[in-house]
C-alpha cells in the first residue's frame, strides 16, 4: 500500500504543469533582471537571477573566435532560451540592456532557434565587468560560421543587466 501511495504522489508531481513551479528568489548578488510578460516572476513582477541560478540552467560551452577577443576563447553559460523559459518569458521581441545603457533588440528566434548563450564565463573564469561581464550574449559561431557577420555582431551585447520581454 505504501509503495502504491508513493507512486500516486510521484505521478501527481510529474503531471503538474511546469507553470505551477515558482522561480526561487536570488540569494546572491542579482546580475540579471528580466521584465515584461513573465509567468514566473520572483521579485515583484520581475524575474531576477544571481550567478548560481543562471549556472544551474541548461547551458553549453563553445570554443570560438569572436571580433572582440584574441584567438580562440571558451565561453560557457546558460542557453539564452533556458533563461527565458525559467522566467516564463513570452514575448514578440526582446531588448537587451547593458550596464552602460547600450541596448539592442534581439529577435525571440535567436533564443529558441539558435544555441545562443548568456555567457557567464570566459575560459572557465567568471567574466568581470571590465571584460564583458557579468553576462555576454554569445552566438554559436563555433557551430555555424554563417552567424559570423555584422547582423549577429550587433546583437552580441555584453555587460547585460536587463532583458525586456515585450
- Each residue's pLDDT tens digit, 109-160: 999 999 999 999 999 999 999 999 999 999 999 999 999 999 999 999 999 9
When divided into structural domains, the chain yields a total of 1
- pTM: predicted TM-score of the whole model, two decimal places: 0.85
Dump pLDDT digits (tens) for 66-78.
Answer: 999 999 999 999 9
Residue 78: give its domain's CATH number. 3.90.420.10
Q: Which residues of 4-41 are buried (b: 16+ CB within 10 A; e: fewer)?
A: eeeeeeeeeeeeeeeeeeebeebeeeebbbbbbebebb
Domain boundaries, position 89 = 2-165
Dump pLDDT digits (tens) for 71-123.
Answer: 999 999 999 999 999 999 989 899 999 999 999 999 999 999 999 999 999 99
Amino acid at each position: 500500500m505504501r509503495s502504491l501511495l508513493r507512486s500516486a504522489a510521484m505521478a501527481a508531481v510529474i503531471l503538474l504543469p511546469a507553470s505551477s513551479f515558482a522561480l526561487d528568489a536570488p540569494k546572491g548578488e542579482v546580475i540579471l533582471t528580466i521584465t515584461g510578460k513573465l509567468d514566473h516572476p520572483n521579485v515583484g513582477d520581475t524575474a531576477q537571477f544571481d550567478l548560481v541560478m543562471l549556472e544551474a540552467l541548461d547551458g553549453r560551452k563553445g570554443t570560438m573566435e569572436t571580433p572582440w577577443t584574441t584567438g580562440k576563447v571558451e565561453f560557457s553559460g546558460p542557453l539564452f532560451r533556458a533563461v527565458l523559459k525559467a522566467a516564463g518569458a513570452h514575448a514578440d521581441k526582446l531588448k537587451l540592456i547593458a550596464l552602460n545603457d547600450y541596448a539592442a533588440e534581439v529577435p525571440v528566434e535567436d533564443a529558441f532557434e539558435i544555441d545562443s548563450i548568456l555567457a557567464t564565463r570566459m575560459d572557465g573564469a567568471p567574466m568581470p565587468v571590465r571584460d564583458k561581464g557579468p553576462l555576454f550574449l554569445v552566438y554559436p559561431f563555433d557551430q555555424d560560421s554563417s552567424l559570423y557577420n555584422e547582423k549577429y555582431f550587433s546583437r552580441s551585447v555584453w555587460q547585460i543587466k536587463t532583458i525586456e520581454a515585450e
